[in-house]
Amino acid sequence: MKDLQSEYNLSYIFITHDLGVASELSDYFAVMYAGKIAEIGPAEDVLTNPMHPYTEKLLKTTPRLRSESTLEFIPGSPPDLIEQIPGCSFNPRCPYAFEKCRTKEPYMIRINSQHYAACWLRGDEK
């Protein structure tokens, strides 16, 4: 796929739960939770400096070949998408959630020129 992309100057959208495959194929990453983008940016930025707690936790659940780190899990269960969750949809599972996370849905907050995260830990209302 990388050869075709380079040869024909292609862009493509690759949807997967496999972060290993996605990291090999993608230049730009969007991490979604409960049907919404939680974090978006250049793949290297998102994978090496996650700014949303879901991205951080998701990366810690991914096995690595040359790592001594212990795999973690994300506590709780994914939300029922039929029910409306007040605030950030990740707040019931987030280890950093505070009151604002439970009451007000975050918007995309700029981390740098191309990296954004929808998380109140990264900024506040303007």
In the structure, what pLDDT confidence band is assigned to residue 21 with cuts at 50, 70 and 90? confident
In the structure, what pLDDT confidence band is assigned to residue 125 with cuts at 50, 70 and 90? low
Between 66 and 100, name the one with better pLDDT: 100
Please compute the mean of the pLDDT values over residues 20-35 and round it to a whole number. 90
Global pTM reads 0.88
Cβ neighbours around 50 below 10 Å, total:
22
Please compute the mean of the pLDDT values over residues 103-115 and round it to a whole number. 96
Q: For 58-84, b where at least 16 C-beta lie within 10 A, e where not — what string?
A: bbeeeeeeeeeeeeeebeeeebeeeee
Summarize the chain as % helix, strand, coil (round to 5). Answer: 30, 15, 60
Per-residue model confidence (pLDDT) at position 126: 45
